[in-house]
Amino acid sequence: MRELLEIWLRELEQKTADDKGAVAIEYAMIAGTVSLAIVFALSDIESSLTAMYTSFANGF
């Protein structure tokens, strides 16, 4: 019984020491948040950019 517990604890330590998946998920969440911020920022300035390019086009 003790050997089984020791094996189980060793495997548990190995699985908790490997954090590659957690780091990848964190980076994906950061990238998603930055992407959303860019989309919202661009949607806010869309009307002003459209007006600016329309005035340039009318000038030519």
The CA distance from 35 to 28, in Å, is: 10
| Residue 38 domain-assigned (yes or no) | yes
Is 54 within the bounds of a domain?
yes
Nearest to 29 by CA among 37, 39, 41, 17: 37
pTM: 0.49
Q: What is the CA radius of gyration of the chain?
A: 26
Residue 14 in any domain: the answer is no
Integer Cα distance of 32 and 39 in angstroms: 11
Q: Once rounded to an integer, what is the mean pLDDT over residues 4-30?
A: 78
pLDDT at 16: 67
Domain count, the chain: 1
What pLDDT score was predicted for residue 35? Answer: 92
